[in-house]
Structure formats: C-alpha cells, structure tokens
Amino acid sequence: MDEEFRDHSRAFFEQVRQGRFALVVSAVVQDELAGAPQEVRTLFERLLPVSEIVDVTSEVIALQQAYLDAGILTPKWQDDALHVALATAAGCKLIVSWNFKHIVHFQKIPRYNAVNVLNGYDPIAIHAPQEVIAHDDEDL
C-alpha cells in the first residue's frame, strides 16, 4: 500500500468491514491484485467473503466500448474503462478508486456519466477513499 494512502485506505476498508460500504469486485480486480504487495492481497482476501462478485457480461463490454468510443480512455487503458462499466452495470452508486489518472479524474467523471446516461444507466459518483470515509467527529 502506498504510504501516502495507507491511513485513508485502512479507514475505508475498516468501514467496509463495519458495513458502511458494500464492496463490489470482479475477476478483473482479482487479476490486478495478483501482483500487489502481500499486505494488499491479504486485506482483499479478508474482505472477499463479504464482497459481491460481479461478472463481465456482454452488457458490461458494450458499456466499456462506449467509453472507449467516446474517447474517455484509449484501448491501452481498457481495463480501467471496464472497472467503471462493471460498477455502473451492477448499479453501484459509488466507485472508490486510487486510480487518479483514468478513473478519479475531474475531466473524466462527467464524461463517464454522460455516456452512462446516453446508454440508459444512472450516473455514478467516483471518489478517492479520503473523500468518502467517515471521520471520528462525524456521525456514520
């Protein structure tokens, strides 16, 4: 885990364990984490039993392609488009990501949501962990 994000990431995943957030993951996430540091893989494995696993379907692939066709990302970054498509098609209200180049980006978020609406999906909020975690002085 990057030192810069360690505290916020731990707080986010603790709040997942407490039930504040429902974790939705896919085989794409599992594949990406295969090369992650052991600490990250262990954390993911602990959360897997309380996670919803979503499948890559033709509907998801079509939405991923719509993002690529709209020029939000290039084919080189198609897995990042796939993450957004998976969450959108699964009906998630929120994506929490550490990917500030292709997902949590102020210019890309409205474009993802424009494509979502044009394709009959609801807009999706996209934030970094530090933006969504509850702090000690807040009510959950």
Task: List the domain boundaries for the chain.
Answer: 3-129
pLDDT at 102 exceeding the cut of 60: yes
Question: What average pLDDT score do residues 102-118 get?
Answer: 98
Angle in degrees, 0-180, between the axes of helices 6-17 and 38-47, rounded to the nearest 10 = 20
**Nearest residue to 72 (alpha-carbon basis) of 54, 88, 90:** 88
**Nearest residue to 94 (alpha-carbon basis) of 126, 64, 122:** 126
Q: What is the pLDDT of residue 4?
A: 72
Write out pLDDT tens, residues 2-11: 677 788 988 9
CATH of 3-129, one of 3.10.129.10, 3.40.50.970, 3.40.50.1010, 3.40.718.10: 3.40.50.1010
The span from the CA of 80 to the CA of 99, in Å, is 9
Q: What is the pLDDT of residue 1?
A: 46
* Helices and strands, counts by H and E, the chain: 7, 4
Global pTM? 0.90
Question: What average pLDDT score do residues 7-24 get?
Answer: 92
pLDDT at 131 exceeding the cut of 80: yes
Q: How confident is the model at residue 40 (pLDDT cuts 50, 70, 90)?
A: confident
Q: How confident is the model at residue 138 (pLDDT cuts 50, 70, 90)?
A: low
CB 73 within 8 A of CB 80: yes
